[in-house]
Amino acid sequence: MSPLDYLHSAGRHADIIRPLTWATLTISTLVVVIILVLLWIAVSRARASGGDRETRAVPVERGTSGKRWIGIGVAISSIPLLLTLVWTMVALANISRTPSSSALVIDVTPHQWWWEVQYGSREPSQIFTTANEIHIPVGVPVRVRLHGADVIHSFWVPKLSGKMDAVPGQTNMTWLEARIAGRYAGQCNEFCGFQHAHMAFEVVAQSQADFDAWRAAQLAPAPEPTSPEQTRGRALVEYRCGLCHRVLGTTAGAISAPDLTHLMTRQKIAAGTLPNDATSLASWIRNPQALKPGSLMPNQNLSGQELADTLAYLELLR
Amino acid sequence: MAEMMQFPERLPVGPIRRHGLGTWGVGALIASEAALFTWLFFSYYYTGATAGPGWVLESSPPLQLALPNTIVLVLSSIVAWLGERGILERKHALALFGFAGAFVLGTIFFVVQLFEWRAKPYGPGDSSFASLYFVTTGFHMAHVAVGLLILAALFGWTLLDYFSPRRNLSVSAGVLYWHFVDVIWLFVFATYYVSPHLGFGT
Amino acid sequence: MREADYRAPEIGVDNAAHAARLMQLWKTAPGLKGFLSTVDHKQIGIRYIVTAFAFLTLGGIESLVMRLQLAGPNGTLLTPEQYNDLFSTHGMTMIFLYASPILSGFANYLWPLLLGSRDMAFPRLNALSYWIYLASGIFLYAGFLTGNGPNDGWFNYVPYAERTYNPGLNQDFYALGMVFLGISTTLGAANFIVTALRTRAPGMSLDRVPIMIWGTLTASVANLLVVPAVSLAFFLLWLDRQYGTHFFDAAQGGQPLLWQHLFWIFGHPWVYAIVLPAMGMVSDGLPVFCRRPLVGYAAVAISTVATMVLGFGVWVHHMFAAGLPTVGLSFFSGISIVITVPSAVAVFAWLATIWHGRPVITTAFLFFSSMIMLFVIGGVSGFMTASVPVDWQLTDTYFIVAHLHYVLIGINVFPVIGATYFWFPKMTGKFLDESLGRWNFWTMFIGFNLAFLPMHITGLLGMPRRVYTYSSGMGWDTLNLVTSVGSFVLAIGVLLFVVNVVKSLRSGAVASANPWDASSLEWSVPSPPPPYNFAVIPTVASRHPLWEDRLNESSARSSVAHGMLLDAGKETIGTSALHATPDMILEMPEDTSAPFILAFGTALLFVGLLLRLALLAGLGGAVVGLALLVWLWPREELREREPARG
């Protein structure tokens, strides 16, 4: 159907919502059909068609009171309304029971137009930051804390959960608990400026073992360059990219743009705008404004050699 | 034949005292402005309730200017009412005294408020509390200013001998507006000067 | 020569001398002078209607450009900036510059005629509301046309609207323009309330007024109370941007959600204000083509008020995902579900009226009856979003875009077009062409549903709102193409409407006073009505004054031929609020250009504020003050003061 449709669910939060969505959709469709049929029958009893002459030709009559329609109609409508009301309260209560003793807490801070994701821990050495791709273990409840950094954004991964805004000045909470392993599409869902359309993210639900492996790998700093291109590339990354980006193990330490330490483990770049392959990466670095106009990454004006060197170094960041 | 309706014997032509469309008009205006202040107070209480402790910058706002100023404004309403009575009872001098007196007292209120603004240890750009304080009292002062213009107009029109015990809708409408401005101040006072003493937002 | 302070109104019937005297008293001067100074509600009403339709066209063009961009994935017709400007301006135009003013226009034109009066309670205020609407509309579009239009949606959330993220003039144009426009709305609301409660024809008790009066009156009370909320919000935003205050920025203790609360406290009642009067038009017009009274008048009147009262208590449903406490969400969700009940009352009343009536299919009937279906579709999609968990998926997707277009186009535009076919003969003395009307209807109906019905699916498939483009492979491509095609078909339908209006103004068939054989008072005067509306003030004995002989609900009979003459001056009757007992003779003001000058002064003031030119703003303020003084100067003819001594 669609990576972002919510008529199917793969996580417990979305599981609670999905049947209610289908139920209200069914009720709504039924109501529309019934009213349409009634309207059709009523109108097809028309005496005439035309203009003022035809209207005047049909005499005015008091007619039956007809008020029963209102009573019966409202009474019948009240049943699905009541049903929905009760179900809504129950579902809301179930969702609001945020898993308290979750092993995993993730802090998500959306920015214009990318997602900063921090995995916390009681052990400071276990804390790391990544961007745009969130990994979670299947079957484990994960609390997501949403922080506002610039404008209001909304965290939405429909197959796993309903949306929750990130509002500056407060911390909002939501949670995820994937039932099935897989990659789930996410999207910013509150208008946040020029590139709101290109502010996607992904949630990767994997087995506990795979997740632990991924997490361990994310802690490692960037490897040393082994070739002259890579060395030149690292220098460029430190000197140019480092104005906004961070690569652990180098002097690039700014945090106003996505952390690149493990860039090549991610399947997409520029917050879901492009696939993470060599051509796209090259095009992106060469001219981000052409691909995502208005994004806060300026054109780098790199020479061909500089670009090749940068890409050579970036290849290491796994 | 339409004989269901007994046509009226005698009807007033135009507004007599308060009975006229103008009263309803100024009533609608007052409702709208009261709503405006309601939303201003909503903004204050909502922002304060969702802010951290210490949001209110002065937990005991000084009352030595505000309290007498409140009394001055309440007094001005009484004096304005006297002016209205002067018109209703054909007491020209009382009417003039009432409007002029209310104008003077209102001006005193306005000036004292300006002094209060100067004396505040914070400015409108310092925090959301400060911004709300200045904008709320500022909106109130704007309404006072409009009220002063109305009182001046009433004074002038009385001087021109326009009004009588029957024809004075402008007077009752104008004085009603002035009372409204007074009542709003009581709410402003309760919110910004009294509620911090009672613990809100501190 | 001074008239008495009290008098017994003269009773009689119309005759040539009486009509000539009334014409002399009420007519507007010809030419530019008359144009700028008229206070005739009919002229003002038509101006509102024409201006609002002009804005509808502009907003429509904006949407067509957007649909070209979105017809396929990865569109390149527009830059993100252009798209954001367009969707924001489209929303602002339709919701603020079309949807409410069009209803004000019809209400302005029709109310005194429906109520048996000679003008609105405050004719000069009426003129002022229009001039300020026009001026603020021009102000707002000056922003758009100079590349400084709104760019943060019509709802303009902070922090994106704050200076840090939005440094240009866009937000300042929008904020000040909205405060400017809000003045017009508030003045209009006050006028409608006092008119409805104090200037009805004798005998027209509150349970006898047309439903359109109930709808507009309810909307006006709501507007009077909530427009200040949004004006305040925009003003505070402007202060944050220009004077460094901190109402909304979190860094200094400001509260970004305060914007949303203030905006939606206004915004939700507003959306009822832009449909309830239109629902009233359907409740009054549909029965004429069913040749019987509306089923359940009292139920419909009460449901109108109930909808608005409940409408004050649902605003948080626009903020379900903002992170508010669950308890609050439950409350607002519950009321949002319950509010469908009074709407259901209206739907069943209309259905029953057709079912138990003898429908005649005319173009007006088609628009009025199809509206029922569109209303229900819009209503059920709204019902779905009332449930918080479901809304957590639906909100901010194209499902909401589908919902809002069904309720706005379905419950505002379709009734308005139907109302035009119905009342055009009264307003102009000519009919709109019926066969062209059928083409108009079917093109609009098919186009609209083609555009917006599939959009529900687009939304359920997760397409977010307010995106300037989308990728292929999301499952949205075909649906968007269909929507774009449908929108152009709809546009052709609207074009046919405009063509019909222009053609009929020139060469439409002539209409008599009551061509539809309808029941309410406006059909008892010539088409078009003379400037004074009623030569004789009607007395009313039932809800359907012109159908009494046929309905025979009681022996009481209204009288339109015989009654109060009120031609000693520019006069109409003032009556009591509930039972419409005559209680004063109202002296109505002459034409004056004070409203025009006041509006001009207000425009200067706002331009001065926008450009931070204190002198210009001061000049504007001075013009406003002076114009007000002249306007409010007590006058003998209006009995606002005693005669001069000697």
Same domain, A89 and A237: no
| C642: confidence class by pLDDT, cuts 50, 70, 90 | confident
Q: Minimum mean pLDDT among A99-113, C110-124, C126-140: which range?
A: A99-113
C305 touches chain B (CB under 8 A): no
| B185: confidence class by pLDDT, cuts 50, 70, 90 | very high
Percent of chain C residues past pLDDT 70, beyond the cut: 99
Q: Which residue of C has its CA nearest to A166?
A: C322
H-assigned helices in B89-202: 92-119, 128-159, 169-189
C380 touches chain A (CB under 8 A): yes
3-state SS record for C321-355: CCCCCHHHHHHHHHHHHHCHHHHHHHHHHHHHHHH
Same domain, A281 and A172: no
Percent of chain B residues past pLDDT 90, beyond the cut: 92
- Residue A286 sits in a domain whose CATH number is 2.60.40.420
Count of domains forming chain A = 2
Decide: A67 and C300 in contact? Cβ < 8 Å.
no
Q: Minimum mean pLDDT among B16-20, C54-58, C183-187: which range?
A: B16-20
Q: Does residue A150 form part of some domain?
A: yes
Same domain, A200 and A234: no
Domain carrying residue A274: 228-314
Q: Mutating which of C240, C335, C360, C395 best tests the A interface, going by the most A Cβ atoms within 10 A?
A: C360
The residue-averaged pLDDT of C597-609 equals 98
To the nearest 10 degrees (0 to 180), the angle between helices B128-159 and C614-632 is: 40
The residue-averaged pLDDT of C214-242 equals 98
C635 touches chain B (CB under 8 A): no
User: From CA C581, how far away is CA C545, in angstroms rounded?
Assistant: 17
Q: What is residue A316's predicted lDDT score, i.e. its pLDDT?
A: 93
Of A185, A218, A251, which closes a domain? Answer: A218
A62, with CB counted inside 10 A (0-12, 13-18, 19+), is: middle
| B2: confidence class by pLDDT, cuts 50, 70, 90 | very low
Contact A70 C299 (CB under 8 A): yes
Same domain, A17 and A164: yes
Q: Mutating which of A30, A43, A191, A295 best tests the C interface, going by the most C Cβ atoms within 10 A?
A: A191
Q: Does residue A223 form part of some domain?
A: no
Same domain, A26 and A159: yes
Same domain, A127 and A243: no
Of A218, A250, A278, which closes a domain? Answer: A218
User: From CA B64, how far away is CA B121, in angstroms rounded?
Assistant: 15
Pairing of strands A200-206, A133-137: parallel
Same domain, A161 and A283: no
- Bridge partners (DSSP) of residue A142 are A104, A176
Which long-range contacts does C30-35 make (Cβ < 8 Å, 24+ apart)?
A: C33/C593, C34/C591
Q: What is residue B5's predicted lDDT score, i.e. its pLDDT?
A: 60
pLDDT digits (tens, 9 = 90+) for C612-630: 999 999 999 999 999 999 9
Give yes or no for residue B21 having a pLDDT over 60: yes
Query: Which of chain C's residues have a Cβ under 8 Å away from the Cβ of A52?
Result: 362, 425, 431, 511, 515-516
Q: What is residue C3's predicted lDDT score, i.e. its pLDDT?
A: 59
Q: By C-alpha distance, which of B18, C103, C390, B44 is closest to A26? A: C390
Same domain, A259 and A279: yes
Same domain, A240 and A197: no
Give yes or no for residue C646 having a pLDDT over 60: no
Same domain, A35 and A169: yes
User: From CA C541, how far away is CA C555, in angstroms rounded?
Assistant: 9
Which token pair is C123? Answer: 């004719």
Nearest by CB to residue A58, choosing from C255, C291, C551, is: C291
pLDDT digits (tens, 9 = 90+) for C379-391: 999 999 999 999 9
| C639: confidence class by pLDDT, cuts 50, 70, 90 | confident
Give B64→chain C minimum CA distance, Å.
27
Give yes or no for residue B153 having a pLDDT over 90: yes
| C600: confidence class by pLDDT, cuts 50, 70, 90 | very high
Q: b/e per residue, C285-311, with b = 16+ CB within 10 A?
A: bbbbbbbbbbbbbebbbebbbbbbbbb
User: From CA C323, how far away is CA C79, in angstroms rounded?
Assistant: 32
Of residues B42 and C1, which shows the higher confidence score?
Answer: B42
Give yes or no for residue C316 having a pLDDT over 60: yes
Q: Does residue A202 form part of some domain?
A: yes
Same domain, A126 and A200: yes
Q: What is residue C1's predicted lDDT score, i.e. its pLDDT?
A: 41
Average pLDDT across chain C, whole number? 96
Q: How far is CA C197 from CA C193, C194, C205, in A?
A: 6, 5, 10
Q: What is residue A257's predicted lDDT score, i.e. its pLDDT?
A: 96
Q: What is residue B1's predicted lDDT score, i.e. its pLDDT?
A: 42
Query: Which of chain C's residues have a Cβ under 8 Å away from the Cβ of B166?
Result: 5, 642
Contact A92 C380 (CB under 8 A): no
Contact C122 B25 (CB under 8 A): yes
Interface of A with C in 20-59 (CB under 8 A): 20-21, 24-25, 27-29, 31-32, 35-36, 38-39, 41-43, 45-52, 54-56, 58-59
C414 touches chain A (CB under 8 A): no
Contact C640 B124 (CB under 8 A): no
| Average pLDDT, consecutive stretches of 10 residues, N- to C-terminus, chain A (318 residues) | 96 97 98 97 93 96 93 96 97 87 88 96 91 96 95 98 97 96 97 97 97 95 95 95 95 95 96 95 95 93 94 94
Percent of chain C residues past pLDDT 90, beyond the cut: 97
Of A218, A246, A264, which closes a domain? Answer: A218
Q: What is residue A22's predicted lDDT score, i.e. its pLDDT?
A: 98
User: From CA A180, how far away is CA A176, in angstroms rounded?
Assistant: 12
Same domain, A207 and A249: no
User: From CA C275, how far away is CA C103, in angstroms rounded?
Assistant: 9
